[in-house]
Amino acid sequence: MAKQNKTKAAGACTLERELKAFESRKAGASYTRIGAALRISAQGAHKLVTAVFQRYESELTETVPGIRQIEL
């Protein structure tokens, strides 16, 4: 059971870092600056931001057809 709690905590931490990176990028920060703020490489910062984009894209892909159907 303790292992599951650690896994959830790690997932929450990752999500928090992804959102911080995404918000920084939206504000115009470079990947180098984001990486420095999060104490990771610029490539790591890019991966975090890309993960958020992929998550949003996946959600939109699932949601848009339903909304279109309602509109029609």
**10-residue stretch averages of pLDDT, the chain, 72 residues long:** 58 86 96 97 96 86 76 76
| pLDDT for position 68 | 74
| pLDDT for position 49 | 95
**Which residues span the domain enclosing 46?**
2-71
| pLDDT for position 7 | 63
Q: How many domains does the chain contain in total? A: 1
Residue 23 CA to residue 29 CA, distance in Å, equals 9
Q: Give a three-class secondary structure readout of 23-69.
A: HHHHCCCCHHHHHHHHCCCHHHHHHHHHHHHHHHHHHHHHHHHHHHH
| pLDDT for position 1 | 47
DSSP structural state of residue 6 = H
| pLDDT for position 50 | 95
